[in-house]
Amino acid sequence: MTDSNAKDSVGIVKPQSIHFDEALTLRSGKVIEAYDLMIECYGELNDDKSNAILICHALSSDHHAAGFHSTEGVVDKKPGWWDTCIGPGKPIDSNKFFIVSLNNLGGCAGSTGPTSTNPATNKAYGPDFPIVTVRDWVKSQARLADYLGIEQWAAVIGGSLGGMQVLRWAISYPERLRHAVVIAAAPKLSAQNIAFNEVARQSITSDPDFHQGHYYEHNTYPKKGLTLARMIGHITYLSDSSMRDKFGKDSLTEGNFGRDLSTGKLNFGFDVDFQVESYLQYKGESFSSNFDANTYLLITKTLDYFDPAVDYEGDLSKAFLQGKCKFLVVSFSSDWRFPPERSREIVDTLLKAKRQVSYLEIESDGGHDAFLLPVPRYLEGLSSYLSVVANEPVTTEKSSHAS
């Protein structure tokens, strides 16, 4: 693992909170009067402000994409969630780009969300925080760009739900990005994706500690429900084969499958028998103590609602006609949450709309989570694409826009 002194680390980074006073009207019609966005930046903005990259996060991530918040191992044992990709000399190269990462609206890592105080009630928003869509997020990100003085991103990049924000950028703000990098995403959720999200939501809302979302006032949180939700999610992030490698490979030949961790024997009861059970429980529980359940609920709905074709009679190619940027689409062979077919749908639809698109299908056992892993061909492909982006002359005519 890298540390903050490593040559390819952005080192110690300091998040900053930016306040926005202008009311934001959401797609639902509801209005957020004012809000904060928590962001981190890596690298330096060049003079003509043409080297900025926006990183869009996925369901459970935040602004802390790279580097460390502290040199103290205790506080900050792990670097940001995309440290494999972001840093000096890395694919998203902080020597070349000014990289901006944010916690989205509705999040629970410092941006305004369910845990924030609702000015109307002086209590936490809780379940009253309005449902935000990808479109709303991108609107708030465009305001962030205005604030930072960035008229046009060199690239907007994201994986999973992050990739959906990238698609929305290309459609809603075609003049404001030169490249869209859409990784392990889908043009909209499948019925199966929505089904898993619904089960996750039900597991949270049926936890008696959920208190209809007002658990803050009861000094508790739906630990079991959120743990379950995360366990379900986690299964869908991993491939069957990566789970087998992690928990079952030796045992497939030995015939014991990692049975009872100490004795290798079955316990013939309902305690943990298999490593995969304790692993998932551990992952779920540690997540539940660090993430807000209302945010989790909210963002699963953000996923379910994503459908950029909705304003174009369901024809995504018409939506993409808006796009002016170049696209890089990346998928992973063992991703069964958003499998390569879904990425190919995006690619084919972009081609139908006569947009310029490159497509990288990466062999990996890592499942959906592969987009966060150091898969060599993936990192090389991304690196190669973005080094061209870094060196290309900025000829795009910049439109004026209302901030």
> Which residues carry a binding-site annotation for substrate?
230, 369
Q: For 234-284, what is the HEC assignment?
A: HHHHCCHHHHHHHHHHHHHHHCCCCECCCCCCCCCCCCCCEHHHHHHHHHH
Stretch of residues binding its own copies (CB under 8 A), selected from 56-64, 66-74, 78-86, 305-313: 305-313
Helix, strand, coil content of the chain in percent (nearest 5) = 40, 15, 45
Piece of 52-60, 146-154, 220-228, 393-401 that binds its own copies (CB under 8 A) = 220-228
**Which residue is catalytic, options 57, 63, 64, 368?**
368
62 tagged catalytic: no
Site string for its own copies, 196-215 (x = CB under 8 A): x-xx-xxx-xxxx-------
H-helix or E-strand containing 358? strand 357-362
Centroid of chain to Cα 373: 14
Taking the complex as a whole, the smallest distance from the CB of residue 352 to its own copies amounts, in Å, to 14
Known catalytic residue at 241: no
In 57-152, beta strands by DSSP E: 86-87, 92-93, 98-102, 117-118, 123-124
Using an 8 Å Cβ cutoff, are 228 and 196 in contact?
no
9, 50, 140, 160: the catalytic one is 160
Least separation in angstroms between residue 379's CB and its own copies is: 27
As a whole number of angstroms, the distance between CA 322 and CA 315 comes to 12
Residue 271 binds its own copies (CB under 8 A): no
Which residue among 335, 343, 364, 365 is the active-site one?
335
Q: Could you give phi then psi for residue 216, rounded to 5 degrees?
A: -60, -40
What pairs with residue 38 in β-bridges? 17
Minimal distance, residue 370 CB to its own copies, in Å: 16
Q: Is-contact 379 84, C-beta < 8 A? A: yes
Note the residues at the interface with its own copies (CB under 8 A): 27-30, 127, 130-131, 188, 190-192, 194-196, 198-199, 201-203, 205-208, 224-225, 227-228, 231-232, 235, 238, 240, 243-244, 246-248, 251-257, 266, 268-270, 273-274, 276-277, 280-281, 297, 301, 304-305, 307, 309-310, 312-315, 336
Active-site residue numbers?
Answer: 160, 335, 368
